Amino acid sequence: MKDLLCDEFQNTVSELLIRHQSILDVLSKLQEASARINRAVTKAVTSCGCIKVNAEKRSVPNNISISELKGYIDSHLNGQLCPNCQEIVEAEIGRDLFYLAALCNHLDLNLYDIFIKEHKKLSTLRFFNFT
């Protein structure tokens, strides 16, 4: 069922993508969409203040295992997106997904298949998949 939703989304993108048919347009729009996500999160910090970034170098002991490493590293993020900022960030992520699906369409790739392959790789490699 989930694959049908992803495939339907990808097909809808194919139908709706009218102006940006060139692969170069799609690549640049995907990059722009990613930048807009960055900007929306930044604005949540700097304009709204619903989230805060507390970033500093983390001390990590030399003798810990990879599985213990996660306990010493965090996202540097404090707070939670307010409803307005969440709506904006979700919209920008949606736009990013749109152009990602468009890129898949141009390259004759299936977004769901890529998702499954990546999930299998992550599940198999676990902590040894540093991305």
**Span 36-94, pLDDT tens digits:** 999 999 999 999 999 999 988 888 888 888 778 777 788 899 999 999 999 999 999 99
Looking at the domain assignment, is residue 15 inside a domain? Answer: no
Q: What is the pLDDT of residue 129?
A: 60
Q: Is the pLDDT of residue 5 over 70?
A: yes
Q: Which domain holds residue 97?
A: 23-128
Looking at the domain assignment, is residue 3 inside a domain? Answer: no
79 three-state secondary structure:
strand
Asked if residue 111 lies in contact with residue 2, where contact means CB atoms within 8 angstroms, the answer is no
Looking at the domain assignment, is residue 18 inside a domain? Answer: no
Asked if residue 101 lies in contact with residue 10, where contact means CB atoms within 8 angstroms, the answer is yes
User: Could you tell me the two tokens for 36?
Assistant: 């807009």
pTM of the model: 0.84
Percent of the chain at pLDDT above 70? 95
DSSP per-residue string spanning 33-67: HHHHHHHHHHHIIIII-SEEE---PPP--TT--HH
What is the tally of structural domains in the chain? 1
